[in-house]
Amino acid sequence: MTAPFLADLFGHQAWADSVHWRAIASHSAAAEDDTLRRRLYHIQAVQRAFLSVWRGSPKWPEPLESYPGFETLREAARGAHRDIAVFFEKLDPGRLEETVSVPWFPAPHRPIRVVDTMQQVVMHSQGHRAQNAIRLRELGGGAPMTDYIVWILDGRPAAAWE
């Protein structure tokens, strides 16, 4: 995997996350749903946590209770994507093959390549977006189309959070 391809995957992730946030925000039952709230928190927390690993100072982000409402949590998600984009702008492609240790993985803490953790973050987020889409439909909302190929065919649009 190359740095430009990974940057593309993370660009898609930011766009897809923003589409989901908008869809959830537009449906009051979804915006107030605790299951969605916890999952939305988890997605951005994992993205931030791995970013801290890539930066060399692993830490778990603030707990869900630190975000008093839907909008503060959305701003945290938006900020995570902004921070990841800045990280990619400065990324030395040689770092992709370096190994890191992820402290919240079960012992023994074996080193894993940076590129593998990046792929994990993208796949992890996509899995939870699928769960969110199902939950949104259960609550009577419409789930947006956020497939990677749709993003490509639409010209790789930037994330639009509002």
* Sequence-separated (6 or more) residues with CB below 8 Å from residue 111: 99, 100, 101
The residues spanned by each domain of the chain are 3-153
* Sequence-separated (6 or more) residues with CB below 8 Å from residue 28: none
Q: What is the pLDDT of residues 94-117, one digit of tens each?
A: 999 999 989 888 877 788 999 999
Whether 128 shows a pLDDT value over 90: the answer reads yes
- C-beta atoms surrounding 64 within 10 Å: 13
CATH architecture of the domain with residue range 3-153: Up-down Bundle (1.20)
Whole-model pTM?
0.94
